[in-house]
Homo-oligomer: A and B are copies of this chain.
Amino acid sequence: MPEARILPRRLLLGPGPSNVHPRVLEAMAQPLLGHLDPIFLAILDEVQDRLRDAFGTQNAFTWPLSATGSAGMEACLVNLLERGDRALIGVSGVFGRRMVDVAERAGAEVVCVEAEWGRPLDEAEMISAIERERPALVALVHAETSTGVRQDPAAIAASAHAAGAFVVLDCVTSLCGIPVELDAWGIDAAYSGTQKCLSCPPGLAPVSFSDRAIERVRGRVTPVQSWFLDVSLLANYYGGERVYHHTAPISAIYGLAEGLRVVAEEGLEKRYHRHASTARELIAGLAPLGFEPLVEAEHRLPMLTTVRLPDSVTERGEAKVRRALLDRHDIEVGAGLGALAGQVWRIGLMGENARSECVDRLLEALRAELG
């Protein structure tokens, strides 16, 4: 493979993908097994068990959906919503907004609670909206990748359950980087991606549905609008019987299996701690260069830090500085998205990259470019 051999080795400090553990890359290069091969099915069992640990759940139906994180979002919403259902969605960034779009396309009547970008949703406002609107479904984002804000879902989920609603949680950026406790919080359906704190390539969406959510899907009046995402069909393969639905992406699942082994060897607590301490180093190191965090400390995500740009960057043109980091230092950082485009950078220290060495390399490169 001549072209690929000369690919540059980038340090991926954007909002994902993050760099992949070498053992994950090695695992993906293993020869294929069939998707019904008993040895492959044992690997799939292991992946499903380890995903349950990562999600903090006993949900039997926890599996790697054969598409990227956004398809995980769509799977959660289109299975739990029927046309005309009311959905209450918390919007404080791009991914909350995307949920609204997905839910509307599923025919739901959507009510939004909005928060300023860079701030979490107001819990009291969400809870009073739940009590007022009596939605069939409440959806929110645990770790908003467009703003770097952490949202505590427990109180909102409790209120939603008290009102008889199902709760969907976006854990794309949070999984394996900060605690995710679906069962303790009472989440009915959650989704993630593999390319963030799991340090696997993008391509799979870990998803978990509670028994109550599966029961809801099985009791639908109308079929799920998507055949590919219909969990009542997917359960025939991922739920134990292993009946063919579609061909599972073997190599990506090898990679995820290995990525989850790496996580288990480190231990979740230690991994959360590593993310938290590296983020503190980043913020401390950026301060003398004039970068200020967008988000208040108590709501800040450790794996994704949004920073306001100093004059030294805006005067040079923020896109030009990012391009110089890439071309001259092989470092990728993320641009601002949506309402924050041009105003912030998003610096990811996710999974394997949540290490002091990565912070040091970035600071050194910034000093060289801006000094």
How many monomers of this protein are in the complex? 2
Contacting B at CB under 8 A, from A1-60, are 1, 3-5, 7-10, 12, 14, 16-17, 19-20, 23, 25-35, 37, 39, 43
Say yes or no: A247-B69 contact (C-beta < 8 A), given A25-B31, A39-B8: yes
Contact of A249 among B39, B201, B248, B332 (CB under 8 A): B201
Q: With A102-B227, A202-B249 as given contacts, are A7 and B33 in contact (CB-CB < 8 Å)?
A: yes
Q: Chain B residues near A247 (CB, 8 Å)?
A: 16-17, 68-69, 193, 195, 202
Residue total for A at the interface (Cβ-Cβ under 8 A): 71
**How close is A148's CB to chain B, nearest CB, in angstroms?**
17
A360 CB → nearest B CB, Å: 20
Do A32 and B228 touch (CB < 8 A)?
A: no
Taking CB atoms, residues of chain B closer than 8 Å to A202 are 35, 66, 247-250
**Interface flag for A280 (CB, 8 Å):** no
Q: Does A337 contact B (CB under 8 A)?
A: yes
Q: Point out the residues of chain B lying under 8 angstroms from A37, CB to CB.
A: 10, 326, 332
Q: Dominant SS at the A interface?
A: loop
> What sequence of 0s and 1s flags, for each residue 69-82 of chain A, a beta carbon within 8 Å of any chain B beta carbon?
11100100010000
CB-CB nearest in chain B for A224:
B105
Whether, in the assembled complex, A342 has its beta carbon less than 8 Å from a beta carbon of chain B, the answer is no
A359: Cβ under 8 A from any B Cβ: no
CB 8 Å contact bits of A177-209 with B (1 = contact, 0 = none): 000000000000000010100000111000000
Q: Which of A114-122, A251-259, A362-370 contacts B (4 or more CB under 8 A)?
A: A251-259
Q: Are B10 and A68 in contact (CB under 8 A)?
A: no
Evaluate contact between B248 and A1: CB separation under 8 angstroms.
no
A358 within 8 Å of B by Cβ? no
In chain A, positions 330-359 with a C-beta closer than 8 Å to chain B are 332, 337
Residue A226 CB within 8 A of the other chain: yes
Please pick, from B224, B246, B258, the residue contacting A69 in the complex, using a CB distance under 8 A: B246
Give the contacts of A237-291 with B (CB-CB under 8 A).
244-252, 254-255, 257-258, 261
Instruction: Please pick, from B17, B29, B246, B332, the residue contacting A28 in the complex, using a CB distance under 8 A.
Output: B29
A263 to chain B, nearest CB (A): 14
Interface contact B203-A251, CB-CB below 8 Å: yes
- Cα distance A175–B257 when bound, in Å? 30
For the complex, what is the distance from the CA of A32 to the CA of B247, rounded to whole Å?
Answer: 24
Expressed in whole angstroms, the Cα–Cα distance for A252 and B254 within the complex equals: 13
Q: Cβ of A106 < 8 Å from any Cβ of B?
A: yes
Report yes or no: A252 in contact with B252, Cβ–Cβ below 8 A.
yes
Complex A-B: 11 CB contacts under 8 Å = A1-B23, A1-B26, A4-B30, A7-B30, A10-B37, A26-B29, A37-B332, A68-B248, A68-B249, A71-B228, A203-B203
